């Protein structure tokens, strides 16, 4: 499984001639030309910044809104509770890609085409169902005595939520964040449709521009691919345990 990734890393440090001659061999020296060219000649950094901003803002919104919604649904009983939960659940089943035409017209009318805000709005809407689903399940399982004793001690509802419940829910929030961060970071489809100007492109979409420009310079292409894959790979290796646990537990409920 890892071999193709390894070849990508090898090739990033080789010249074109070396790749032609021995595509599988490790690089002979630490040739940094390719990396320097990717960083120096293309808008790579700009794409990276855009990806970080878009993904970061979306995840922050998903967590804030998702936690509030899940907290309300899990800890309070009110009319329509079940209906609202079902409404969020329904969002899990629907492939939003198929609604792209009305979405396009709607964003156009709101003036959100070709803005970061437009993407963030879509990603937040897309991520909320799963976040609410994960967090509600977790918050429901927390014991009610905690809440009652806090209430007896005179804590207000907001204080109970922020100081008692949320710290306990942190593992679930991490899982919800990871679960959404990867697809949003990697998304290609929505930026393809909604972003036209080069300075707003996210990394996956920016790559296609960059790959088109350098379509004969194999070393530079591989270097670009490696750099683009680097952030998410590092993050994955660092968090792999939580990541895998989160995905398997989420997948089976």
Of the two residues 96 and 142, which places its CB atom closer to another protein in the complex? 96
Of the two residues 158 and 237, which places its CB atom closer to another protein in the complex? 237
Q: Give the shortest CB-182-to-another protein separation in angstroms.
A: 5
User: By the 8 A CB rule, do 219 and 14 touch?
Assistant: yes
Residues 6+ apart with CB under 8 A from 60: none
Q: Give the shortest CB-244-to-another protein separation in angstroms.
A: 6
Binding site for another protein (CB under 8 A): 1-2, 4-5, 7-8, 19-20, 23-24, 88, 91, 93-103, 105-106, 108, 121-122, 124-126, 128-129, 182, 185-186, 188-189, 193, 203-205, 207-208, 211, 218, 221-222, 225, 228-229, 232-233, 236-237, 240, 243-244, 247-249, 251-252
C-alpha span between 131 and 126 (Å, rounded): 10
- Angle, vertex CA 203, rays to CA 198 and CA 207, nearest 5: 75
> Dihedral, CA atoms, 177, 178, 180, 184, nearest 10 degrees?
120
Of the two residues 45 and 148, which places its CB atom closer to another protein in the complex? 45
Q: Give the shortest CB-32-to-another protein separation in angstroms.
A: 20
Nearest to 28 by CA among 17, 49, 6, 13: 13
Of the two residues 72 and 204, which places its CB atom closer to another protein in the complex? 204
For 157, other C-beta atoms within 10 Å of its C-beta total: 13
Q: Give the shortest CB-210-to-another protein separation in angstroms.
A: 10
């Amino acid at each position: 499984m890892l071999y193709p990734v390894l070849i990508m890393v090898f090739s990033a440090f080789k010249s074109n001639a070396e790749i032609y001659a021995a595509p599988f061999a490790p690089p002979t020296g630490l040739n940094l030309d390719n990396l320097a060219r990717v960083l120096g000649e293309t808008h790579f950094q700009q794409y990276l910044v855009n990806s970080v901003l878009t993904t970061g803002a979306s995840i922050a919104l998903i967590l804030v809104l998702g936690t509030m919604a899940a907290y309300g649904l899990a800890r309070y009983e009110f009319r329509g509770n079940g209906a609202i939960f079902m409404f969020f659940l329904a969002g899990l089943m629907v492939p939003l890609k198929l609604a792209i035409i009305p979405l396009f017209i709607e964003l156009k009318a709101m003036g959100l085409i070709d803005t970061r805000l437009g993407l963030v709005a879509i990603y937040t809407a897309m991520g909320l169902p799963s976040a609410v689903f994960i967090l509600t399940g977790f918050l429901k399982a927390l014991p009610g005595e905690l809440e009652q004793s806090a209430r007896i001690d005179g804590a207000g509802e907001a204080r109970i939520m922020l100081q008692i419940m949320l710290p306990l829910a942190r593992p679930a929030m991490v899982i919800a964040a990871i679960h959404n961060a990867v697809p949003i970071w990697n998304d290609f489809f929505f930026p393809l449709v909604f972003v036209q100007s080069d300075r707003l492109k996210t990394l996956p979409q920016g790559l296609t521009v960059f790959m088109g420009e350098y379509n004969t310079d194999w070393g530079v292409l591989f270097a670009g691919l490696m750099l683009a894959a680097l952030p998410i790979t590092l993050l994955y290796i660092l968090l792999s345990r939580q990541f895998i646990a989160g995905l398997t537990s989420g997948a089976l409920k």
